[in-house]
Amino acid sequence: MRRANLSLVAALLFTAFASPAAVAQGNANADVCAASDEGPVTPEQRIGACDALIKAAKNAPKDLASALINRGSAYWTLDKMKRAYADFDRAIALDPGNGRAFRERANAFRSDGKLDRALADATEAVRLGPKDATAFDIRGNVLNDKREYDRAIEDYTQALRLDPQFSMAFRDRGAAFYFKKDYARAIKDYDEAIKINPRSDRAYSNRAAAHEKLGEIDKAIADDSEAIKLDSNVPEYFDNRGLSYAKNGEYDRAIIDFTQAVRLAPQAKFFTNRGNAWQSKGDLDRAIADYTKAIDVDPTDADAWNNRGAAWRGKGDLDRAMADYREALRINPKFDTAAENLEALRLLRAKARK
């Protein structure tokens, strides 16, 4: 519990005489500054509120550190990493016993791919806050990224011991089980995450992926559909459902979903997946058009080159097919499918010459 020093007591006595409007504004800024990423408050609004608190807390180091952590988290949400690190570093300098500062900086290091530094900070957060479920969850995420799945599961499990209603920890542990290819246990954890927070679109999407791995395509489609209902602005949800429709042979539905994914974010993989659906329907010209768009977006997309080669072969244009297979292998020399396709064409041509 924080001890009140003389300067803080004086400040509190002074604020007792402040106008109700000033007190209300201070409380409002505190609420907005501390708002979560998933709430209705925008990161820009959070930063503005935190700015006001930071100016007001110059003589209260711990309050200042708290506002800096919140502002750093908002900067992190906006991918303004330099400013985020500056705030986290300053908060730690002001209050080195603040586990949340290390926890949030660990999150930033993790998103930057600096996993060793993230692990060091997350471990310090756990040391400073052994009852902080979120600290264990964040360290679990770092370990998950490092592919140390058993250690990650231990941390998620500890987070759940501390907070049995921690929906995100169930979801994250489910992801670790998924990466361990224990899809049944992953689904159980996603079930729990959804039970606690039925509006978690990511939990539905993750559970869909696990169902798909078990060959439960209809269940995967149902979960992807629920994720889309909850957040229709995530292109991957449409792409995932499109892939499941394609596995079911429902190519027209798949194409509709891939088209929506492309509208939201014209990524190469979405064009490639739609091209695959067109090719499965026998519409080779549209397939080639989509593979070409994928290559325009990402010339290193070996799948697009290989699959366009297959479409050219289907049209009888063996020269273009061979050229595309070769390019796929140049990009990825270990691409066995492209190598097999190229060898098959060479054999076909050799037989034709005899």
The count of other CB atoms within 10 Å of the CB of residue 40 is 7
> Which residues have a Cβ under 8 Å from the Cβ of 241 and sit 6 or more positions away?
208, 220, 221, 224, 225, 228, 257
DSSP 41: S
What is the average per-residue pLDDT within 166-191? 98
Q: What is the pLDDT of residues 300-344, one digit of tens each?
A: 999 999 999 999 999 999 999 999 999 999 999 999 999 999 999
What is the average per-residue pLDDT within 266-282? 98
Question: How many percent of the chain have pLDDT more than 90?
Answer: 85
Q: What is the pLDDT of residues 23-77, one digit of tens each?
A: 345 578 888 999 887 778 999 999 999 999 999 887 888 999 999 999 999 999 9
CATH class of 166-265: mainly alpha
Rg of the chain, C-alpha, whole Å: 26
Q: What is the pLDDT of residues 139-161, one digit of tens each?
A: 999 999 999 999 999 999 999 99
| Domain spans, the chain | 166-265, 269-354
Per CATH, the homologous superfamily of domain 269-354 is Tetratricopeptide repeat domain (1.25.40.10)
Size of the chain, expressed as the number of residues it contains? 354
Same fold, 166-265 and 269-354: yes
How far apart CA 240 and CA 244 sit, in angstroms, is 6
* 34 contacts 71 by C-beta, under 8 angstroms: no
Q: Give the pLDDT score at 10.
A: 30
How far apart CA 157 and CA 319 sit, in angstroms, is 56
What is the average per-residue pLDDT within 184-188? 98
Exposed, middle or buried: residue 7 (CB in 10 Å: 0-12, 13-18, 19+)? exposed
What is the average per-residue pLDDT within 238-261? 98
